[in-house]
Chain A
């Protein structure tokens, strides 16, 4: 089955620096990838997505990069702020028409130092 995993369990960055969170996936048939942010006591919140036919997508202060050759996904957060402190998950979707399943990575904690 598909596995989506993260390289590092925790990441500590200085406020104002850029953050890079990495993720590896095993299922080359994944159609779609998503990054989620989960704050304490809340459910995961969508950050940004990317389809498998793209290699880069930018949002507000966030960029997702997809390298299908090495099955690697990364989330870049520009000018990291204290409010970015949370657990981040990557997830892959294998879409088969009416049925699809979202497979999450383990999660990485981002801690922003003031």
Chain B
């Protein structure tokens, strides 16, 4: 079974630009979560999508948004990029429900650098 894939793997943008990251979950996984990982703040939850609906959201500004398509693929968008948005953005997929966290799989991440 193919794992979680994220594209692109690396991205360099400048301040003020916007960026869209893509995540393809494992087949059969309908829940997709996004996380931001930085050396200073660690791993922080951005949002989770299930059935094309945002189910939960972390404490990030409105510049961070996402969506999920009918095939469970998800995208996240960051508008008006700031230097502090430089991070590794991780996507994870699982089946919904508490018991499925032990079968949540992470992608390799997209490394975003904002100059």
Most buried by A among B42, B50, B104: B42
Q: Known: A44-B43, A102-B45. Contact between A34 and B90, CB under 8 A?
A: no
Q: What is the predominant secondary structure among interface residues of chain A facing chain B? A: strand
**What are the residues of chain B within 8 A of A98 when measuring CB–CB?**
50, 55, 96
Do residues B102 and A44 form an inter-chain contact, with CB atoms below 8 A? no
Bound state CA distance, A41 and B42, in angstroms? Answer: 15
Fill in one digit per residue for B94-110: 1 if any A CB lies within 8 Å of its CB, else 0. 00101001111111110
Do residues A93 and B98 form an inter-chain contact, with CB atoms below 8 A? yes
Closest to A95 in B: B98
Do residues A41 and B108 form an inter-chain contact, with CB atoms below 8 A? yes
Bound state CA distance, A105 and B98, in angstroms? Answer: 19
Interface residues of A (CB under 8 A from B): 1, 31-32, 34, 41-46, 49, 89, 91, 93, 95, 98-107
